[in-house]
Amino acid sequence: MRLGVLDVGSNTVHLLVVDAHHGAPPLPAHSHKADLRLAQLLDAEGAVGPEGVDRLVAVVHEALRAAEDQGVEDLLPFATSAVREARNADEVLARVREETGVELAVLSGEDEARLTFLAARRWFGWSAGRLLVLDIGGGSLEIACGIDEEPDAAVSLPLGAGRLTAARLPGDPPAPDDVRALRRHVRTEIARTVGEFSRLGTPDHVVATSKTFKLLARLAGAARSADGLYVQRELKRASLEPWVPRLAAMTAAERTELPGVSDGRGGQLVAGALVAEAAMELFRVESLEICPWALREGVILRRLDQMGRG
């Protein structure tokens, strides 16, 4: 059957259409993205303003038309941290429901971590052993670890690249003092969780998902996205570390001239790099592998599992 997953994230609203069957990998058929930057549309009180809600409704309408054009039978719509943490989340969800008919399921941070972990587990298989999975989104950082399809530990931290950029890196390029202060903040937040994961033992395989990690791996020499899903892509901490000060010294426009960096990502890449570097160092990760599947695939896989049990 043809499934669609509609992901209302902090940076983008992304419709992913796949041909999916229980017991088989979902095969991508169509992708429709809109750069909404919902996390940056919050007002001083933390609410999504009228303009932001209007834009969200319009983008959801566009996604619905694309889903219909692609023959989607079942649409799985969900929202993550930007909607979850908005002061007027109920109002936003009601407007979307009333004007589009779409009932957005709001995932908790732990849900995000668990579903992303499921996707990574299915991609790498049981032979990968104990997995540690890192995911940097626009609003949050998810960390999960375990030996089964359900992680033994899963946390979500308010360390998304978009959130941190908007709140803590106002300059272009950012002021060195702001970069140092953000570095301290990120490391303090991540360090609080390390003990919870250390008790589980050393992971056999460390993987990362998300556009931020993919971009950083690309800058460090990994293959392009155009080279295909099945090309192994790694990010070594030794390769990442020199890029952090280089990125911080650039303007957002200069970063967009780097391989694979879009206009929408150039402004957030310094914060994302600081989070990636901190996570790898604090968890003592020398090298990690980029996983092509992430949250959207996890949502699809969970739905297929439910259908199979039904």
What's the rounded mean pLDDT across residues 258-264? Answer: 88
Mean pLDDT, residues 4-8 taken together: 96
Query: Per the omega criterion (within 30 degrees of 0), is the bond before 151 cis?
Result: no
pLDDT at 128 over 90: yes
- Please write the tens of the pLDDT for every residue from 47-71: 998 889 999 999 999 999 999 999 9
Beta strands 74-79 and 2-8 are parallel
**81 has a pLDDT exceeding 70:** yes
The angle subtended at Cα 103 by Cα 134 and Cα 90, nearest 5°, is: 85
Query: Predicted confidence band at 279 (pLDDT cuts at 50, 70, 90)?
Result: very high
Burial classification of residue 184, based on how many CB atoms lie within 10 Å of its CB (0-12 exposed, 13-18 middle, 19 or more buried): exposed
How would you classify the pairing of strands 205-209 and 131-136? Answer: parallel
What pLDDT, on a 0 to 100 scale, did the predictor assign at position 310?
61
Query: So where are the chain's domains?
Result: 2-106, 120-295
Q: Lowest mean pLDDT of 105-114, 144-153, 222-231, 236-245, name the range.
A: 222-231
Query: What CATH number does the domain located at 120-295 have?
Result: 3.30.420.150
Residue 263 has pLDDT above 90, yes or no: no
**Of 109, 297, 121, 110, whose CA–CA distance to 204 is shortest?**
121
Higher-confidence position of 240 and 44: 240
Which helix (H) or strand (E) segment holds residue 154: the answer is strand 153-157
- Main-chain phi, psi angles of 291, to 5 degrees: -100, 125
Band (pLDDT 50/70/90 cuts) for residue 155 is very high
> Which pLDDT band, with edges at 50, 70 and 90, does 157 fall under?
very high
The residue-averaged pLDDT of 110-119 equals 97
Share of the chain above pLDDT 70, in %: 99
Residue 6 contacts residue 96 (beta carbons within 8 Å)? no
Domain 2-106 has CATH 3.30.70.270: no
Nearest to 10 by CA among 109, 106, 138: 138
2-106 matches 120-295 in fold? yes
Q: Does the pLDDT at position 43 exceed 90?
A: no
Give the pair of three-digit tokens for residue 269.
């890449």
Of 23-37, 101-115, 127-141, 181-195, which gets the smallest average pLDDT?
A: 23-37
Of the pLDDT bands very low, low, confident and very high (cuts 50, 70, 90), residue 224 is confident
Q: How many whole angstroms separate alpha carbon 249 and alpha carbon 76?
A: 41
Measured distance CA(187)–CA(171) in Å, rounded: 21
Mean pLDDT of the chain: 94
pLDDT tens readout for residues 189-215: 999 999 999 999 999 999 999 999 999
Asked if the model's pLDDT at residue 309 lies above 80, the reply is no
